[in-house]
C-alpha cells in the first residue's frame, strides 16, 4: 500500500458528472502536477480545480482533498468531480497515471479501507451489496450490513464462545480445586444458547439471501398434473407449452417472476416418468432433478381431481430425496380444483388451486412467502451474509458448536479438551466472517468482485 492508485469511480458512459479518485501516500504529489497545487488545500473543502495534462487544460473540476486517516480508504485521497464525458474522464485518469498514480484494481479502494481498519470484511461486503442493490428490501439489508449489523451479531457470539472456552479451560487447568467454575449443567445450557443464537443468525442470512437474490422455486410432479399450466399461471404469461399428452415438457424452463414483492425464479420441470420414451425426455427429467436439488422451495403439483397413482408416488419420492437433507420446504398443490378435489387428496393435505381458472392462486402465493419465512415482518431480523464465503464460515461454525453440544448432551458431561477444540474452531470460523486473520486469497476473492473505483 505504499503506491498511489487512481480510477474512474462512476460508470461507463456520459453523465453530468464523472468522478476520478486518487488515493495513497503520493496523492498530494500527483495532485500537485495534475491540479497545479502549490500547497495541499484545506481538507474536506470543495474547491474549483483546473485539471492539466502537462500544458493541456483537460477540465475544470470540483475537487476535495481528504487527509489521512480521515478518508474512505484511510489514506490521503483526492476526488475530482469532472464533467461527465467518458473522453474527459479517461484523459484525467491517464494524466493522474502520468503524474505518478497507477490504475486501481477492482475493489482496491475498499480493500485499502479494510486493510487500514476503516471497515471489517463483513462491512466491506456490505458496500458491495449496497452498490449492487436493486430493490428497496435489498437496499435496506445492505445498509444494515454496512453499518455493522452482521459484524455486531457475530461479535456477540464470539464473546459468548470465548467466555465459555475460558471457563472450560480454567476447570481443565485446575481440576483439583473442588467445585468447578463451570458446572456441567451450566456448560450445556450455555452451549445450547450459543447454538440457538447461531441458528437464528443463519436463518436470518438465508432470508437475507432470498430477499437479495430471489428464491428458486421448482415445480415438480407427475406428467399431466398441470405443472406447466401452474408455471404459466404464476408468471401470468403463456410461457410453457401446455398439452393433454404426457411428456410434453422436455426441458426445464426457467423464468423470473415477482411473487408479492419477492423476486422468484420459477422452474417448470419435465414430469417424472419411468418409461420416458425418448432421450430428449430423459435429459429433460435429469434437468428437472437438478432444479429440484437447487431449489429453495418446491411446489409438488398433484392432479387433485384424479385418484393417486404410482407416478404421483414416484414424483413424491424424487422430491423428497432432493429436499429432505437440506430441509427445503415442499408445498403440495392440489391442481384442477375446477374439476373437483378428491377426498383422498384433501385428507393428505395440500392447497386446492386451479391453474386454469386461477382460483386458489393468491393463497398459494402467500403460502410460498410464509414457507420461505419472508412474509412481511421477516425483514427486520433478516441478515445479510452477502457472500457464499460468509455463509460457509457461519455454517462451519454452527456444525462445530453442534458437535460440541451433541457430545456434551450425550455424555451429560461438562467441557473437556474435545469440546474446547470444537469451540475453538467455531471461534476461528466466526473470526473469518468479519475478516480477522483472513488470508490474502480470501481478501483478493472478496475485493475483486467490486467494480473499479470502489
Ligand X SMILES: Nc1nc2c(ncn2[C@@H]2O[C@H](COP(=O)(O)OP(=O)(O)O)[C@@H](O)[C@H]2O)c(=O)[nH]1
Q: Which is nearer to Mg ion, 125 or 303 (by Cβ)? A: 303
State the binding partner of 374 from ligand X, Mg ion, none, CB within 5 to 8 A by kind: none
State the binding partner of 330 from ligand X, Mg ion, none, CB within 5 to 8 A by kind: none
Q: Which is nearer to ligand X, 4 or 229 (by Cβ)? A: 229
Q: Which is nearer to Mg ion, 227 or 332 (by Cβ)? A: 227
The minimum distance between CB 428 and Mg ion, in angstroms, equals: 48
State the binding partner of 149 from ligand X, Mg ion, none, CB within 5 to 8 A by kind: none
Q: Which is nearer to ligand X, 319 or 426 (by Cβ)? A: 319
The minimum distance between CB 218 and ligand X, in angstroms, equals: 13
For 146, list phi and psi in degrees, rounded to 5.
Answer: -60, -40
Q: Which is nearer to ligand X, 69 or 358 (by Cβ)? A: 358
**Could you list the residues that contact ligand X (CB under 6 A)?**
221, 223-229, 242-244, 248-249, 271, 335-336, 338-339, 354-356
The minimum distance between CB 232 and Mg ion, in angstroms, equals: 10
288: number of CA atoms within 13 Å, CB side?
29
State the binding partner of 243 from ligand X, Mg ion, none, CB within 5 to 8 A by kind: ligand X
State the binding partner of 112 from Mg ion, ligand X, none, CB within 5 to 8 A by kind: none
Residues 6+ apart with CB under 8 A from 288: 218, 220, 252, 267, 269, 270, 272
State the binding partner of 354 from Mg ion, ligand X, none, CB within 5 to 8 A by kind: ligand X
Output the residue with the shortest Cβ distance to ligand X. Answer: 226
Q: Which is nearer to ligand X, 100 or 220 (by Cβ)? A: 220
β 215-221/46-53 pair status: unpaired
Q: Which is nearer to Mg ion, 316 or 393 (by Cβ)? A: 316
The minimum distance between CB 231 and Mg ion, in angstroms, equals: 8
The minimum distance between CB 422 and ligand X, in angstroms, equals: 47
State the binding partner of 224 from ligand X, Mg ion, none, CB within 5 to 8 A by kind: ligand X
Q: What share of residues in the chain are helix, strand, coil (percent, to 5)?
A: 45, 15, 35
The C-alpha cell that represents 337 in the structure block = 380444483
Q: Report if residue 145 touches Mg ion, rule: CB under 5 A.
A: no
The minimum distance between CB 346 and Mg ion, in angstroms, equals: 24
State the binding partner of 223 from Mg ion, ligand X, none, CB within 5 to 8 A by kind: ligand X
For the purposes of burial, counting CB atoms within 10 Å of the CB of 123, is it exposed (0-12), middle (13-18) or buried (19 or more)? buried
The C-alpha cell that represents 17 in the structure block = 458528472
State the binding partner of 335 from ligand X, Mg ion, none, CB within 5 to 8 A by kind: ligand X
Q: Report if residue 267 touches Mg ion, rule: CB under 5 A.
A: no
The C-alpha cell that represents 45 in the structure block = 473543502
Q: Report if residue 228 touches Mg ion, rule: CB under 5 A.
A: yes
Q: Which is nearer to Mg ion, 309 or 409 (by Cβ)? A: 309
The minimum distance between CB 335 and Mg ion, in angstroms, equals: 12
Give the helix ranges, DSSP H, for 236-330: 279-294, 310-323
Q: Which is nearer to Mg ion, 59 or 281 (by Cβ)? A: 281
The C-alpha cell that represents 336 in the structure block = 384442477
Q: Report if residue 249 touches Mg ion, rule: CB under 5 A.
A: yes
The minimum distance between CB 167 and ligand X, in angstroms, equals: 58
Length of the chain: 454
The minimum distance between CB 244 and Mg ion, in angstroms, equals: 11
State the binding partner of 195 from Mg ion, ligand X, none, CB within 5 to 8 A by kind: none
Residues that bind Mg ion (rule: CB under 5 A) add up to a total of 3
Q: Which is nearer to ligand X, 272 or 446 (by Cβ)? A: 272
From start to end of 343-388, where are the E strands?
A: 351-352
Q: Which residues bind Mg ion (CB under 5 A)?
A: 227-228, 249
Amino acid at each position: 500500500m505504499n503506491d498511489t492508485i487512481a480510477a474512474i469511480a462512476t460508470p461507463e458512459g456520459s453523465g453530468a458528472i464523472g468522478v476520478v479518485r486518487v488515493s495513497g501516500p503520493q496523492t498530494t504529489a500527483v495532485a500537485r502536477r495534475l491540479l497545479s497545487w502549490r500547497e495541499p488545500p484545506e481538507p474536506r473543502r470543495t474547491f474549483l480545480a483546473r485539471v492539466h495534462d502537462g500544458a493541456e487544460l483537460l477540465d475544470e473540476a470540483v475537487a476535495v482533498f481528504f487527509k489521512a486517516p480521515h478518508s474512505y480508504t484511510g489514506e490521503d485521497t483526492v476526488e475530482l468531480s469532472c464533467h461527465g464525458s467518458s473522453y474527459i474522464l479517461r484523459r484525467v485518469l491517464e494524466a493522474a497515471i502520468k503524474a505518478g498514480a497507477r490504475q486501481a484494481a477492482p475493489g482496491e479502494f475498499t480493500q485499502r479501507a479494510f486493510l487500514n481498519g476503516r471497515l471489517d470484511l463483513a462491512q466491506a461486503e456490505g458496500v458491495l451489496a449496497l452498490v449492487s442493490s436493486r430493490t428497496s428490501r435489498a437496499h435496506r439489508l445492505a445498509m444494515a450490513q454496512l453499518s455493522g449489523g452482521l459484524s455486531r451479531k457475530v461479535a456477540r457470539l464470539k464473546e459468548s464462545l470465548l467466555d465459555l472456552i475460558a471457563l472450560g479451560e480454567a476447570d481443565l487447568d485446575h481440576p483439583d480445586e473442588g467445585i468447578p467454575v463451570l458446572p456441567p449443567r451450566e456448560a450445556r445450557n450455555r452451549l445450547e444458547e450459543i447454538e440457538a443464537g447461531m441458528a437464528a443468525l443463519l436463518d436470518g442470512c438465508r432470508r437475507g439471501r432470498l430477499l437479495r437474490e430471489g428464491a428458486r422455486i421448482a415445480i415438480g410432479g407427475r406428467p399431466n398434473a398441470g405443472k406447466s399450466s401452474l408455471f404459466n399461471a404464476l408468471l401470468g404469461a403463456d410461457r410453457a407449452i401446455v398439452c393433454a399428452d404426457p411428456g410434453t415438457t422436455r426441458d426445464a424452463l426457467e423464468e423470473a417472476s415477482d411473487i408479492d414483492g419477492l423476486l422468484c425464479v420459477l422452474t417448470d420441470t419435465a414430469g417424472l416418468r419411468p418409461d420416458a420414451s425418448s432421450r430428449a425426455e430423459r435429459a429433460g427429467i435429469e434437468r428437472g432433478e437438478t432444479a429440484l436439488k437447487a431449489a429453495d422451495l418446491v411446489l409438488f403439483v398433484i392432479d387433485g381431481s384424479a385418484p393417486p397413482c404410482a407416478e404421483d408416488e414416484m414424483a413424491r419420492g424424487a422430491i423428497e430425496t432432493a429436499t429432505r437433507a437440506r430441509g427445503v420446504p415442499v408445498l403440495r398443490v392440489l391442481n384442477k380444483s375446477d374439476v373437483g378435489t378428491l377426498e383422498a387428496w384433501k385428507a393428505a393435505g395440500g392447497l386446492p388451486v386451479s391453474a386454469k381458472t386461477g382460483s386458489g392462486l393468491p393463497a398459494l402465493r402467500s403460502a410460498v412467502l410464509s414457507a420461505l419465512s419472508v412474509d412481511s415482518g421477516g425483514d427486520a431480523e433478516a441478515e445479510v451474509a452477502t457472500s457464499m464465503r460468509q455463509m460457509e464460515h457461519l455454517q462451519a461454525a454452527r456444525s462445530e458448536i453442534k458437535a460440541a453440544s451433541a457430545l456434551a448432551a450425550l455424555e451429560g458431561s461438562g467441557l473437556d479438551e474435545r469440546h474446547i477444540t470444537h469451540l475453538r474452531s467455531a471461534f476461528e470460523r466466526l473470526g473469518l466472517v468479519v475478516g480477522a486473520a483472513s488470508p490474502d486469497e480470501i481478501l483478493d476473492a472478496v475485493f475483486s468482485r467490486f467494480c473499479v473505483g470502489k
